[in-house]
Structure 1
Amino acid sequence: MNGKGFATVIHFIKKEFQQLKRDPKMFAIVLAAPVLQTIILGYAATFDVNNVDFYLLDRDRSSSSRKYVEKIVNSGYFTMKGAGENYDEVENAIMNGNAAMGLIIPRDFEKDIENNTGAKVQVLLDGSDGNKGSIAFGYVQAITADYAKNILLGKIERNGIRSPLKSVNAETRIWYNPELKTRVFMVPGITALLLMIITTLLTSLAIVKEKEFGTLEQLIVTPIKPWQMILGKILPFTILGFIMILLVNSVMVFWFGIPIRGRALFFLFASLLFILSTLGIGLFISTISKTQQQAMMVTVFGVMMPMIYLSGFVFPIENMPKIIQYITYIIPLKYFITIIRGVILKGIGITELWRETLILASMGISILFLASKRFNKRLE
């Protein structure tokens, strides 16, 4: 690239930023929207179950049953919405959505505990939300097991047995996300998701906008070479992409308290490789779209939605059918999310992620090259 060609590209970049500056709404969308979306999605995109409403039917009404219910309520995971007099009231509460769980304590609950005959309780769960139901069931099992353990230890002490019963205890250590918060897992993925949306959508819309206003034809008849035009179009959105990364990661670190454990330089390098893919996709969409509305529809429904579903951002790829798993191999977002979560949560780098980095680089260069060739052909 000679000095004159470089100066032309610089003028193009300045023109793009001036156009962005003249449109305050677009400027706000590019800079402010990712920050707000990170905060909102950071709280909304979570599968943690911190509160389960339940309806109680206590047919025993004994001291033991009250202590059991108190243990469930005091766990912090359950809120008692009411107490019924019969089974139908519990069933109706779950059916109407007033409670996600029903707890039925049968008669002779305390008597069965004292006689060592094995006391039972019935738990009814709303299985329409399978994730919430399974987690709530796990909470109940853990609370019930602890309640039974305390009863057993109390009987041992009352019977004068000094040495407690020995058992096998598993000592669990949780790495990378000790509190098992879904937010810690989701927020890094949100960073990748927003980067894809901003760079792909803006690239496709900016070029199609030139078509609609007739300025693209005016640029074609000038001495500007196609590669200068392409470079002048994609570099501004590359810069905007990195600005967005810095803003969103600042929110992640200082708002949500999720540190970047790995090397920031490798993180930025992987981001650049991913941006090559998204810019190439946006450039390709601009060649097949005649209006901004058409470009937006193709971007959202033809690119973003499949990438979100098939990248592992929300749904584990391992749980998908084999044929769908094979399709995920061509999704650039899949590899970038793997890299970004590895760097941020585990502190690993290119030594462990070289395969994903190589694939992402190959896809980024190939997609951008092919899209540029097609765009160049359309200009000619």
Structure 2
Amino acid sequence: MKVLGYILQKEFLQIFRDRSILAMMFAMPTIQLIIIPLAMNFDVKNIDVVVVDNDHSSLSQKFISKIGASGYFRYVNAEPSYREALRYIENGSADLVMEIPAGLERNLVREGLQKVSLSVDGINGTKAALGAAYLNAVIADFNKSLPLNSTGGTAQKNVQPVIDITSSNWFNPLAEYKYYIVPGVLVLLLTLIGGFISALNIVKEKESGTIEQINVSPVKKWEFIVGKLVPFWVIAMIVFSIGLAVTRLVYGISPQGNIGVLYLFAAVYLIALLGFGLLISTYSNNQLQAMFIAYFFMMIFMLMSGLFTSVESMPAWAKMIANLTPITHFIKVVRMIVLKGSGFADIRLEFFYMILFAIALNGWAIWNYRKTS
């Protein structure tokens, strides 16, 4: 243990010697955590709509006003024909074209039925689907408010029993995106900082030539790896604490569950992550090589972690890969503890998974470190 103490002292001195890197390790994730969630807004708003009103009745004007008042749509223009309105979609100036046919009010009064045409730009599939769904919801709400649907006409003769569905959002009542995305971004930034810095650690010793002196010293392999891991683990835990403070002060998000359970899981996760970075470092011969290898795996971790798309929606092979990455489990656990208030019993299985990751990755790094005596 005395040898390990000297190695830790040497590593901390080496880290604090480079003040610029140290400042970047603390400042970069803090600034990014403040900026990135503000830009990653998954709420689809300001959907551009072009209207073709062939009826020009009081009811059609009321219908158009209803859509504008919903807060999700923005009128680009009103065109006299569908052909002219379609040009806005073709040049990217509009997302939807809504055509109101002639005789809208007359057909609704006489027959209780009238079709409205919607043309949706499908290039951005998510925005198109949500925009069409929003507009259909507005039309359905407008249809319920029509006097002819409640006082008489054809619609009154064919009244059918209706089941009214009332829903409520648990853990995020207002369905605000920040409560879902901010914990995931915190985990992602912690992963990027810890993964890249640890991946460059041993390689830096190789490039400077000091690795040869360590190799001929009586330092054991596990002491060398642990000595490389602990300083960055301490720094990463501090960064994690700063990130939690930022989420509370900037976004008003504080953990609903036990903060001790959250730190316990984060501690084990960082051991696994830093072990993975050190494993990359043992395989790499220079820092450029280590950066490219780390970038390759970090991109996979980031895109398959469940931050942007649900893991449950992935194909079976992709779901298997996602479950083999530590970041997937950490994002899931952070959201459970921060938003749902889950306790240790709820994350017990994920915690044991993370312990296995930590043992496997660090054991592999120790085994792969070639030390000559």
* TM score, norm. by length of structure 1: 0.91
Please give the alpha-carbon distance, in whole angstroms, between the structure 1 residues aligned to 2:233 and 2:289: 23
| Secondary structure of the structure 1 residue equivalent to 2:252 | coil
Indicate the residue corresponding to 2:9 in structure 1.
11
2:35 counterpart of 1:37: no
Asked whether 1:202 is paired with 2:186, we answer: no
Partner of 1:328: 322
Match of 1:113 in 2: 108
In 1, distance between residues paired with 2:371 and 2:199?
15
**Aligned partner letter, 2:119:** L
Native 8 Å contact 1:16 1:233 kept in 2: no
- For 1:341 and 1:195, how far apart are their aligned partners in 2? 15
Q: 2:111 is paired with a residue of what secondary structure?
A: coil
Q: Secondary structure at the match of 2:51?
A: strand
Q: Which string of whole-angstrom CA distances, capped at 9 and with x for unpartnered residues, describes residues 255-289 of structure 1?
A: 11222111111111111111121111111111111
Pairs within 5 Å for 1:192-341? 192-301=187-296, 303-341=297-335
**Which of 74, 84, 87 in structure 2 is aligned with 1:92?**
87
Q: Give the equivalent residue in structure 2 for 1:342.
A: 336
User: How far apart in 1 are the matches of 2:258 and 2:315?
Assistant: 35
Summarize the alignment of residues 65-76 of structure 1 with structure 2, pairs less than 5 Å apart: 65-76=60-71
Unaligned runs of 5+ in 2: none
Q: Is the 8 A contact 2:4 2:224 kept in 1?
A: no
SS in structure 2 of the partner of residue 151 of structure 1: coil
* Distance across 2 between alignment mates of 1:141 and 1:153: 19
| Number of equivalenced pairs | 369
Q: Are the aligned partners of 1:52 and 1:79 in contact in 2 as well (CA < 8 Å)?
A: yes
1:148-173, Cα deviation, whole Å (9 max, x unpaired): 11114775299xx9xx9985322211
Residue by residue over 1:175-231, the C-alpha shift from the partner in whole angstroms, topping out at 9 and shown as x without a partner, is: 011122233211111111111111111011122112112122233344444333322
Alpha carbons 1:38, 1:248 under 8 Å: kept: yes
- What whole-Å deviation, never above 9, does each CA across 1:109-141 have from its counterpart, x for those lacking one? 111222233122111111121211111112111
Shift of 1:56: 1.1
CA distance in 2, matches of 1:10, 1:325: 39
Residue of structure 1 in register with 2:181 after alignment: 186
The residue type paired with residue 306 of structure 2 is G
Does the aligned pair in 1 maintain the 2:86–2:97 contact within 8 Å? yes
Change (3 A) 1:115 1:273: same
Q: Distance in 1 between matches of 2:330 and 2:365?
A: 20
Shifted more, 364-373 versus 39-48: the winner is 39-48
| Matched residue, 1:362 | 356
Say if 1:379 and 1:240 are closer, same or farther in 2 by CA, change over 3 A.
Answer: farther
- Equivalent AA in structure 2 for residue 168 of structure 1: I
> Take 1:379 and 1:277, find their aligned partners in 2: how far apart are those partners?
26
CA distance in 1 between partners of 2:52 and 2:80 (Å): 6
1:73-118 deviation per Cα after TM superposition (whole angstroms, max 9, x unaligned):
1111000011112111221101111011111111111112222331
Whole-angstrom CA distance in 2 between matches of 1:216 and 1:153: 85
User: How far apart are residue 17 of structure 1 and its match?
Assistant: 2.7
In structure 2, how many angstroms separate the alpha carbons of the residues matched to 1:270 and 1:153?
60
Question: Percent identity over the alignment?
Answer: 31
Per the TM alignment, residue 295 of structure 1 is displaced from its structure 2 partner at its CA by 0.7
Q: 1:137 is matched with which residue?
A: 132
- Counterpart CA distance in 2 for 1:293 and 1:261 is 42
Residues 1:374 and 2:362 aligned together = no
Q: Distance in 2 between matches of 1:32 and 1:84?
A: 51
What SS does the corresponding residue of 1:265 show, helix, strand or coil? Answer: helix
Whole-Å Cα distance in 2 between the matches of residues 153 and 255 of structure 1? 49
Paired residue type of 1:20: D
Alpha-carbon separation, structure 1, partners of 2:16 and 2:349? 40
Q: Which moved more, 1:108-117 or 1:143-152?
A: 108-117
Q: Report the alpha carbon displacement of residue 174 of structure 1 after superposing the two structures with TM.
A: 0.9
- Three-state SS of the structure 1 residue aligned to 2:163 is coil
For 2:116 and 2:372, the matched residues in 1 are separated by 73
